[in-house]
Amino acid sequence: MYFAFTVSRKHLRILSLLGLFLLAASLPYLLATQVTQAHGTTTQNNARLHQADVAFRAGYAAFARNDLQTALLNFQRVVLLAPGLEEGHSALGAVFVQMGQYPRAISELKRSLALKPGDRSALMNLAMAYAQSGAYSKAVPLFQRLDREDRSNAKAVPLPQDVTLAHARSLVATGRATEAIAVLQHALNHEPNVAALHDEMGSLYAQQKRWAEAEREFRQALALDANSGTAHLHLGVALFANSQPQDALPELTLAAKLLPQSVEAQLEMGNALLAIGDDEKAVSPLQRALALDPASVDAKNQLAIALQGTDHEKSAIPLFQQVLAAQPSNVSAMIDLALAMVQTGDAKDAIGLYKRAIQLNPKDTTVYQDLGAAYVQESDLDDAIDSFKAGIHLNPQDAQLHYDLGLAYKLKDNVAAALTELELSSSLDPDLSEPHYTLGILYMQEGNFDAAEQQLQTALHMRPENADGWSILGSVYRQQNKLPQAVAALNESIRQRPDQPSGYITLASILAAQGNRTAAAIDRKKAADLMRAAVNRQHALFSTNAGNQLREKGEIKQAIEQYQDAIRSDPNYADAYRGLAAAFDQEGKSTEATAARHSAETLKSPDH
């Protein structure tokens, strides 16, 4: 987040009203002076000045009730009737400032100051007009003049806080942050209990990465105004930027609640949730941010990351594509999009994106690693090996790349090279479980059961929730004739994955070898039932996919037959019921559709 100074339009109106009030109070005297100076002129001139007086007062009254259009028309009439009256140009300029018409405001206020160089109200409004229009170098001298007058005259009315804030903002924009701090500090010395001044001071410190001072100022602002959504937002962002996402989250959550229409508040809350790894909770505020600003590239990118992190890669892909359309050189989005494509089975298109990313950033080893993984998915092991080697050339100490290269060699049946890379990976990062696990499998396949046992035990000690690992270790123990250890390992595998038949099969063979034929028969039956269920589920999946294709082609009766066949194969397959409900809807059979949909809702969706 960029910590920017902001000037409230509400405070601009208060500032302008102050000037108009002073003008309205002195106008009869000013007009009387012009009448005196016009002694000997026609009665018509006196009438024009009287009309100017009436128009000015009407304009002031309209401005006071925020009727800017009526105020504008009346002050334009004042200027037309009495072009030499400085106060008319000043008032008209103030209205243009409030309307955001800064070029016109600047023109009128310059005329006002040409007629009366010491008009403090016109000077303030002109400085604000320059600042609001981004002409900071022109605003600064005017603000400095006001500041000097304020400091040199003890009786001078203190500058409104928004003038002070705009002065500081203009100084920052012109590269004079130290002077900006001094301006804010001077204001705080006189008005220490103004929350907005502390908030802006904190923003200035945050821009300079002076986090402790920024946090102090933001907390002081909140002590003065606990419901300041902006201060909560700024404090949260400062804590987040200072690597404290856990502490930042409560502040950002409150900011999002207090500022429900703020894109930034929703976006920063989502970013903090992503930073602490809670991608699922991050989705909601990021969706809100995108709804508030559908053109926000940041919101699209962060939402895509959150969706990708919650296994919704298909939904993330179009968002990443929109980010890249807006920012063609965004390497990070390019890599994320490519990864989402790999995750959804489109490695071919992902490879092209990875190559583009490498052209833009050839020193990023992660891209070579991801590119290699995409090649593996495409069964292009030679190019995968070349990609992993290119990454290792950039960073020879990258344990993960050595592991990936070893795995690629294993898939290519180059066992010697695989063992070398996997052992190197393990030595570079002893905390990685994957090299030990893969080494265990390789050693087992090579018949080196003692080495396999050691590697698998190490891997499972690091990551015990690995049902396949326990099953393989059980098989190794069986080969070593360590039957009690084998039974324990296989029971752990079954505990973790009771739906997998392989553990029951191996356990049954061990129990039979031990003479426990009854227990062995029970485990064989469990394995057979699971295998039958797996076959039925596969058949149901095939029939449901066929039904979906037929339904898309409009062949509804044939689709219904396929869905019903899927349900006969596996009555617990929810997707088949959903497809059947959709087909019945297309046939106009609402009762049957409702029944099928109800059946689907009572079942869990299968994992694919």
DSSP, res 603: S
Which residue has 């080494």 as its token pair?
Answer: 439
Q: Would you say the pTM of this structure is higher than 0.85?
A: no
Residue 331 scores a pLDDT above 70? yes
Residue at 149 is within a domain: yes
pLDDT for 521 equals: 84
Q: How many domains does the chain have?
A: 2
Residue 36 scores a pLDDT above 70? no
Q: Tell me what the mean pLDDT of segment 159-177 comes to.
A: 91
pLDDT for 214 equals: 94
Residue at 265 is within a domain: no
Q: How far apart are CA 429 and CA 435, in angstroms?
A: 9
Which residue has 């001072």 as its token pair?
Answer: 213
Residue 26 scores a pLDDT above 80? no
The 3 state secondary structure assigned to 28-44 is: HHHHHHHHHHCCCCCHH
The total of other beta-carbon atoms located within 10 Å of residue 467's CB is 18
Q: Which of 191, 214, 245 is the last residue of a domain?
A: 191
Q: Tell me what the mean pLDDT of segment 65-88 comes to.
A: 90
Largest CA distance in the chain: 134
CATH for 547 = 1.25.40.10
pLDDT for 222 equals: 96
User: Which tokens in the block code for residue 170?
Assistant: 């203009």
Residue 574 scores a pLDDT above 60? yes
Residue at 11 is within a domain: yes
Q: How far apart are CA 470 and CA 477, in angstroms?
A: 10
What residues contact residue 453 under an 8 Å CB cut-off, 6+ apart? 440, 473, 476, 477, 480
Q: How far apart are CA 527 and CA 255, in angstroms?
A: 55
pLDDT for 43 equals: 57
pLDDT for 604 equals: 55
pLDDT for 154 equals: 63
Dihedral angle computed from the Cα positions of residues 586, 592, 594 and 600, in that order, rounded to the nearest 10 degrees = -100
Residue 445 scores a pLDDT above 70? yes
Residue 346 CA to its chain's centroid (Å): 25
Its domain, for residue 564, covers 538-601
DSSP, res 156: S
Residue 93 scores a pLDDT above 60? yes
Residue type for position 294: P
pLDDT for 103 equals: 95
pLDDT for 157 equals: 60
Least confident stretch, 14-18, 145-149, 158-162: 14-18
Residue at 261 is within a domain: no
The total of other beta-carbon atoms located within 10 Å of residue 95's CB is 28
Q: Tell me what the mean pLDDT of segment 257-280 comes to.
A: 94
For every residue of 44-84, DSSP letters joined together read HHHHHHHHHHHHHHHHHHHHHTT-HHHHHHHHHHHHHH-TT
Mean pLDDT of the chain: 87
**pLDDT tens per residue, range 181-221:** 999 998 898 889 999 999 999 999 998 899 999 999 999 99
Q: Which of 191, 218, 236 is the last residue of a domain?
A: 191
**pLDDT tens per residue, range 16-25:** 544 544 444 4
Sign of the C-alpha dihedral computed for residues 391, 392, 397 and 401 taken in this order? positive
**pLDDT tens per residue, range 282-301:** 999 999 999 999 999 999 99
Residue 328 scores a pLDDT above 80? yes
| pLDDT category of residue 44 using cuts at 50, 70 and 90 | low
| Region at 66 (left for phi over 0; alpha for psi -120 to 50; beta for the rest) | left
Sign of the C-alpha dihedral computed for residues 240, 244, 246 and 250 taken in this order? negative
| pLDDT category of residue 50 using cuts at 50, 70 and 90 | confident
Residue at 273 is within a domain: no
Residue type for position 516: N
Residue 360 scores a pLDDT above 70? yes
Q: Decide: residue 605, CB within 10 A, 0-12 exposed, 13-18 middle, 19+ buried.
A: exposed
User: Which tokens in the block code for residue 485?
Assistant: 């250890």
For helices 556-569 and 517-552, the axis angle rounded to 10 degrees is: 170
Residue at 410 is within a domain: no
Q: Which of 135, 168, 191 is the last residue of a domain?
A: 191
pLDDT for 500 equals: 81
Q: Decide: residue 84, CB within 10 A, 0-12 exposed, 13-18 middle, 19+ buried.
A: exposed
Residue type for position 426: S
For helices 161-173 and 120-132, the axis angle rounded to 10 degrees is: 50
Least confident stretch, 166-180, 460-474, 523-537: 523-537
Cα Rg for the chain, rounded, in angstroms?
A: 37
pLDDT for 174 equals: 94
Contact status, residue 50 vs residue 35, Cβ threshold 8 Å: no
User: Which tokens in the block code for residue 183?
Assistant: 């301006």
Residue at 262 is within a domain: no
Residue at 468 is within a domain: no
pLDDT for 131 equals: 93
Residue of 511, 547, 542, 539 lying closest to 526 (CA atoms): 511
Least confident stretch, 107-111, 532-536, 559-563: 532-536
Contact status, residue 135 vs residue 154, Cβ threshold 8 Å: no
Q: How far apart are CA 510 and CA 575, in angstroms?
A: 38
Contact status, residue 176 vs residue 198, Cβ threshold 8 Å: no
Residue of 499, 501, 502, 523 lying closest to 511 (CA atoms): 523
**pLDDT tens per residue, range 484-538:** 998 899 889 889 988 888 778 888 888 877 788 887 788 788 878 777 877 888 8
**pLDDT tens per residue, range 370-392:** 999 999 999 999 999 999 999 99
Q: Decide: residue 176, CB within 10 A, 0-12 exposed, 13-18 middle, 19+ buried.
A: middle
Residue of 410, 402, 455 lying closest to 433 (CA atoms): 455
Residue 438 CA to its chain's centroid (Å): 36
Contact status, residue 440 vs residue 455, Cβ threshold 8 Å: yes
Q: Decide: residue 341, CB within 10 A, 0-12 exposed, 13-18 middle, 19+ buried.
A: buried
Which residue has 């809100």 as its token pair?
Answer: 288
User: Which tokens in the block code for residue 343?
Assistant: 């995750």
